[in-house]
Structure formats: C-alpha cells, structure tokens
A and B are shown apart, each in its own frame.
Chain A
Amino acid sequence: MATQPHTAPPRPGRADSGAAKLVVPSLIGALVALTLGVYGHLHNPTGYAINIAGFSSPGAVKSWLATGAFAFALVQVGSALVMYGKVPRVAAPSWIGGLHRWSGRAAFLLAVPVAVHCLYALGFQHYSTRVLVHSLLGCAFFGAFTIKMLVLPKSELPSWTLPALGALVFTALTGVWFTSAYWFFSTFGIRH
C-alpha cells in the first residue's frame, strides 16, 4: 500500500478521483457477499454445528450473539453521529474514536459465529419472505462490512463515503437482526 505523495495537486470539483478508490473495495465486497451466498446455497445444510454451552438451542445462541452485535451497532451509529458533530451540544470526546472502532470490532466478531452457523448448518434459504430477506441481507452485511474496512485506510475519499457505507452496514445488520433474533424471541419467547 504505497501512500500517495501529498504534493499531488487536488482536483477540486471532481469526486471521481476519490470515488474511483471505491471501485476495487466494492468489487471485493460484492465478491464476499456473493461467495457467502453461493456457498450457503451449494453446501448441503448439515443442520448441525458446534454449539456454545449454556444455551438451550443454536437458535438461542445465535439470537443472543446477534442481539449483542446489534447493540454494538447502535453504539456505532451513536458514536459516529457524535464524531461527525451531528449531536447538538455534544462535543466529541477524545475517546469517541476508540469507542467507535472497538464497538465495531466487537459487533463484527459477534456476528461471525452466527454467520458460520447460518451458512454451514442452515444454508441460503428462500422458503419464506423472512428467510429470503434474511439470507440476502446476511450476505450483504458481510459484503458491506468488507467494503467499509477496505475503504477506511484510504485518504481523499468523497466525504459521503464513510457515512454511506456505515449506514449500509447498519441497515443490513438491522434487517438481519429483525428477520432472525427479533423473530426468534417474538416466536419462542425471550430465553437462553
């Protein structure tokens, strides 16, 4: 990753130079989403994966992990709003960046075991609208997250890039959570 010399003249009025940097990460992210979906569809669901002790069922484990990820995602949105100065009368404290980074890492790492179970044990399914939406958004979430991570270190991005990608990631995770954990808890009751 060679850094661009800062002496390169900026080209005002044109976002293309910055936006062009989004192409490769976007393609990689799309590939990630597609790979997950294709794997989930081609792999014969086993109905079985390693479980975490102390929970009644894989569904309960996943629902709680996903709920944890969703809670951290809410922290993500809150801390991002503060960082961008969108919360009136709240100045961004020095630790807000750290909070944003670590809550994001936590959310992502909590979501990974859920995705592994989904793809390995259950697969990409479409037998109802909820399940289809969940399958699509689940793949999209990891694709969008990949794009955001690949884009983050780049400089001179259009200013809308990170908020837009963050919104994409958060929207996908919200949809994933409502079509799975929320459905699970409202169907079977809140249990662990």
Chain B
Amino acid sequence: MKIKTPYLTLLTGAALGVVLLVASMLATPKAPAAPAAAATPAPASSAAQPSPASPTPTATAVANVPARANYAGEVNGGGASVAISIHRGQAIAYVCNGSVIEAWLTGTAANGHLTMTGKGHARLSATYRTKRAVGHVVAHGVRYTFSAPAVHKPSGLYRAIAVVRGAKIKAGWIVLPDGTQVGSLERNANAAAPSAKPAPMLDVTTGTAQDGDTVLVATPVSGVTGSGF
C-alpha cells in the first residue's frame, strides 16, 4: 500500500504545521493564574537582564500583551485624542484636543497595565492588549475615557522639539488611522505648566511642520520601532 505522493506532501506540511503550532503554544508565556505571580519576576528580569536580544520580553508574561505597540484614537465623546506608545516596558503617551488641553505622559507598562504621569497632575491608567488599550486619562483637570485601537505607521504619535531664541518649543501630533490629526504646541515647554496652542499641520510624509519661520522636524514616537524612546 503506497500513499500517493501529493497526499504525502499535504500530510507532511500539515504535520509540520501542527508541530510548529504546538511548539509555539508551549513556548508562548501563559497568562498567570494570579497576576501577582507574574508581577514579581517581570520587573526583576527586566532589571537583571536589559539584553535587547532577549526573546521573551517581560510584557509577554500575560497573554496577548505586546512588548511593543502603538495605540491612537479619539477619547470617548470625541473631545480629544490620545496616543500611547509602548516599548519594552516603557510607555510614552500624549493626549491632546488640538488646542490648550494637552499633556505628555511617561510611565511603565507591565503585564498589560499602564500607569503614567505628566506635568500639571496629568495621569493615565489603562490596560492594553494586542488590539487596543482601554483606560482613562486626566489632563488639565479634564478626565477622558478612551478605547484606542492599535495603529500602524504612519498613524500614531509624533513629537518635535526645537529651541528658538532660548525657548524650548515642544509640539505633539496624534495621527489617527483615518489620517486625521490633532496637534498642540508648547511655546515654553520647560515651564512648570506650559501653555499650548494649536500646532501647525504636520506633513507625515516629510515629518515636518512649518511654525512661522521655524521648520519643526517631528520624530515618530513609536513603540514598535523604538523611535523616540
């Protein structure tokens, strides 16, 4: 009894696929039964081994938690936009209504949870998974809730910093998946509570924006590529 070779080819491929799938399932870090169990080793291993070659980033301790991700979306109600970039446990976020309400936040991402703070008592708390980040952010005393989907270049967060006549200008833009953008610009970013105004339009293809006689060069803040971290 001889199996016809094309069938053998199919069976071999299917078997290879199953073996690789099972191996991947076994290799994928499982979601812990108790969150506390994973919380202990994760920061320890990141502190002990900051090796970039490590194949199991700390953030994969919980299933479906990406180690690198970018999220962007409108807040619930549509009054502002929020963008979050996560890169190996570090997170940068920006919330902005395209005018005076805006805040940069930094913090840590671990086991699917984000805790971030910024100037002017800005704070952000969220949970994140592969597809979206869900939480709330407080900026300028305004509390927004959001459910922001994962986004891909050219959507996401952009930042430009320039020093003009001794003053540090800091601008941020959030480019949504549909291509719309909001951005604000701080004239004196080193102030304790910098005042913001609408940012000039960012050209995402060149990464530049014209602010009067100054050309602002924006850098993507991308958790996926690590740019801006």
Chain A residues in the interface with B (C-beta under 8 A):
1, 44-51, 101, 104-105, 108-109, 112-113, 115-117, 120-121, 127-128, 146, 148-150, 152-153
Determine whether the beta carbon of A149 is less than 8 Å from that of B7. yes
The distance in angstroms between the C-alpha atoms of A44 and B130, with both chains bound, is: 8
With A1-B4, A48-B29: A121-B24 Cβ-Cβ less than 8 Å: yes
With A47-B66, A48-B60, A146-B10: A109-B16 Cβ-Cβ less than 8 Å: yes
Determine whether the beta carbon of A48 is less than 8 Å from that of B28. yes
- Residues of B near A116 (CB, < 8 A) are 17, 20-21, 24
Determine whether the beta carbon of A153 is less than 8 Å from that of B4. yes
Q: Out of B4, B17, B64, B152, name the residue touching A47 (CB < 8 Å).
A: B64
With A1-B4, A46-B28: A112-B64 Cβ-Cβ less than 8 Å: no
The distance in angstroms between the C-alpha atoms of A128 and B150, with both chains bound, is: 12
Determine whether the beta carbon of B29 is less than 8 Å from that of A50. no
- Residues of B near A113 (CB, < 8 A) are 16, 20
Q: Out of A48, A117, A121, A149, name the residue touching B6 (CB < 8 Å).
A: A149
- Residues of A near B25 (CB, < 8 A) are 120
The distance in angstroms between the C-alpha atoms of A113 and B130, with both chains bound, is: 22
- B9 interface residue (CB < 8 Å to A): yes
Chain A nearest CB, measured from B153 CB (Å): 9
Contact mask for chain B residues 177-197; partner A; CB cutoff 8 A; 1 contact, 0 none: 100000000000000000000
10 interchain pairs (CB within 8 A)? A46-B64, A47-B66, A47-B130, A49-B27, A50-B23, A50-B24, A112-B16, A113-B20, A120-B21, A150-B6
Determine whether the beta carbon of B24 is less than 8 Å from that of A112. no
Determine whether the beta carbon of B28 is less than 8 Å from that of A49. yes
- Contacts A49-B28, A112-B17, A153-B6 aside, 10 further interface pairs with beta carbons under 8 A come to A44-B63, A46-B24, A47-B66, A48-B24, A108-B9, A109-B12, A116-B24, A121-B24, A149-B6, A149-B7
